[in-house]
Amino acid sequence: MTKKILLKRTFLSAVIFASFQANADNGLIESLSGVNINETAPLKDMGLEVGMWASAGVTYASHNRKDHDNAPLSFNDRNNEFMFNQLNFYIEKALDTESGKWDIGGRMDFMYGTDADNTSAAGWDQNWSPKKGSGSYYDISMPQLYAEIYAPIGNGITAKLGHFYTTIGYEVVTSPDNFFYSHAYTMLYAEPFTHTGALFSYDINDNFSINGGTVLGWDNATTNGGAWNFLGGGSWTSDNEATSVTVQLISGDMSDVGPSINQTMYSVVATHDFSDKIHYVFQHDYGVQEGNGDWFGVNQYLTFDLTDQFGIGLRGEWFNDKGATRVGNRGANYGAISVGVNYSPVSWFKLRPEFRVDLADEKVFNGDSEDSQISLAMDMIVTF
């Protein structure tokens, strides 16, 4: 039995299995065994939490290329082909910020799947990647490995030291934390995925918080873009927590050897809950690379939680990279509208079907032969 057939059968089996588990309340393992491993004495005594999720899906694109290439879209960048996107394991010791005492925590994430290559860092994951030269789309990565220190100074300072996901933008790498299966162009091209360095956070009061630190550029650990960059910003949250605004910026040289050029970008994310069930997000990104041009984008999201198990969402986006600063040789104005559904018959299982229309003012789809495409996609997420 080939790996592809096995993965497809696993996907279908999970869907069928979920339909018979409608009263499960927690992860798959706990729903089957009745045991929550994080409630066992060894993990509780050490203050540790372990977890894992798997996500996999299929995308059909209107161009239907024989080589299955769905560029310039990424993450779901293979059309008409089953993709095992993420098998992610993590172990975490959360900080105790309530006791008013010094504390140490941290987290490690390990990922296998087609998404691992998209989030690999130069001088880190790429040094021990088994994918090199194999032609495979599957890879491994360690997108997070950091320590955290809480210092009870003022309202409390938190220091994150190591390799961690970016604070920039709205969409994230981790599948369970996004509404849509596909990603916005800003997340794919306008923003970094990970950083290596130090980031300090401080809550001024219940409404305002700030952060700032220094990192080795974008998606880098020791090599490309290795000059130190500033990363930081601030956020405001309303008293009722229904509205928030977050601003984050990264700026610095792109190289620590030879001639260096500055690269700076910022992201503004505003959220508002019209009710307990209706949620709105506005995002704006702008970036500029010294001597090479700039890029900018606007995204809007509107989601409706119709029930605890069923939600529907709409995403509209526009991304300008006419100078081809970020999207290689595909410089264009990009626009997309996505309509998606989240269905969770149980807490540990989610389906995310999606309909998406992409438009551009240049021929950038189907091997640079078309200026638009329509796609249908669906993935599943299983939380263990």
Count of CB atoms within 10 A of residue 328's CB? 12
Question: Is residue 232 within a helix (H) or strand (E), and if so which, with residue range?
Answer: strand 229-237
> What local confidence, expressed as pLDDT, does residue 291 receive?
86
Residues in the chain: 384
| Structure tokens, 107 | 């987290």
Domain count of the fold of the chain = 1
> What local confidence, expressed as pLDDT, does residue 118 receive?
86
Question: Are 191 and 267 in contact, with CB atoms under 8 Å apart?
Answer: yes
Question: Is residue 313 within a helix (H) or strand (E), and if so which, with residue range?
Answer: strand 310-321
pTM of the model: 0.90
Cis peptide preceding 152, ω within 30 of 0: no
How confident is the model over 130-147, as pLDDT tens digits? 655 456 789 999 999 999
> What local confidence, expressed as pLDDT, does residue 136 receive?
77
Please state, in angstroms and rounded to a whole number, the distance separating the CA atoms of residues 174 and 23: 26
SS3 211: strand
Scanning the structure block, which residue is given the tokens 């970094």? Answer: 192
Locate the DSSP E strands across 114-178: 139-151, 157-165
Compute the C-alpha angle 368/374/375, nearest 5°: 105
> What local confidence, expressed as pLDDT, does residue 140 receive?
93
Query: Average pLDDT for residues 147-175, to the nearest whole number?
Result: 97
Compute the C-alpha angle 124/125/131, nearest 5°: 145
pLDDT-based confidence at 29, cuts 50/70/90? Answer: confident
Please state, in angstroms and rounded to a whole number, the distance separating the CA atoms of residues 249 and 252: 10
Highest mean pLDDT: which of 29-38, 68-77, 215-224, 237-246? 237-246
Question: Are 358 and 336 in contact, with CB atoms under 8 Å apart?
Answer: yes
Scanning the structure block, which residue is given the tokens 């995002």? Answer: 283
Q: Is the pLDDT of residue 128 over 70?
A: no
> What local confidence, expressed as pLDDT, does residue 6 receive?
46
Query: Over the Cα atoms of the chain, what is R_g?
Result: 21
The torsion angle over the Cα atoms of residues 301, 307, 309 and 313, rounded to 10 degrees, is -20
Q: Is the pLDDT of residue 14 over 60?
A: no
pLDDT-based confidence at 126, cuts 50/70/90? Answer: low
How confident is the model over 201-210, as pLDDT tens digits? 999 999 999 9
Q: Is the pLDDT of residue 177 over 80?
A: yes
What is the pLDDT of the chain when averaged over all its residues?
90
pLDDT-based confidence at 129, cuts 50/70/90? Answer: low
Please state, in angstroms and rounded to a whole number, the distance separating the CA atoms of residues 217 and 236: 26
Question: Is residue 266 within a helix (H) or strand (E), and if so which, with residue range?
Answer: strand 262-273
Q: Is the pLDDT of residue 152 over 90?
A: yes
Q: Is the pLDDT of residue 17 over 70?
A: no
Q: Is the pLDDT of residue 230 over 60?
A: yes
> What local confidence, expressed as pLDDT, does residue 18 receive?
43
Question: Is residue 9 within a helix (H) or strand (E), and if so which, with residue range?
Answer: helix 3-19
- Higher-pLDDT residue of 23 and 381 is 381
Please state, in angstroms and rounded to a whole number, the distance separating the CA atoms of residues 312 and 316: 14
1-26 burial, b at 16+ Cβ within 10 Å, e below that, comes to eeeeeeeeebbeebeeebeeeeebee
How confident is the model over 44-62, as pLDDT tens digits? 889 999 999 999 999 999 8
How confident is the model over 350-380, as pLDDT tens digits? 999 999 999 999 999 998 999 999 999 999 9
In angstroms, the first-to-last Cα distance of the chain is 25
Backbone φ and ψ of 42, nearest 5°: -60, -45
Q: Is the pLDDT of residue 22 over 70?
A: no
Please state, in angstroms and rounded to a whole number, the distance separating the CA atoms of residues 337 and 67: 25
Q: Is the pLDDT of residue 8 over 90?
A: no
Quote the domain boundaries for residue 213: 3-383
**Cα–Cα nearest to 231, from 215, 220, 218:** 215
Write the CATH number for 104.
Answer: 2.40.160.10
Name, in order, each residue with C-beta under 8 angstroms of 123's C-beta and a sequence gap of 6 or more: 220, 221, 222, 223, 224, 226
Percent of the chain surpassing pLDDT 90: 71
Q: Is the pLDDT of residue 24 over 60?
A: no
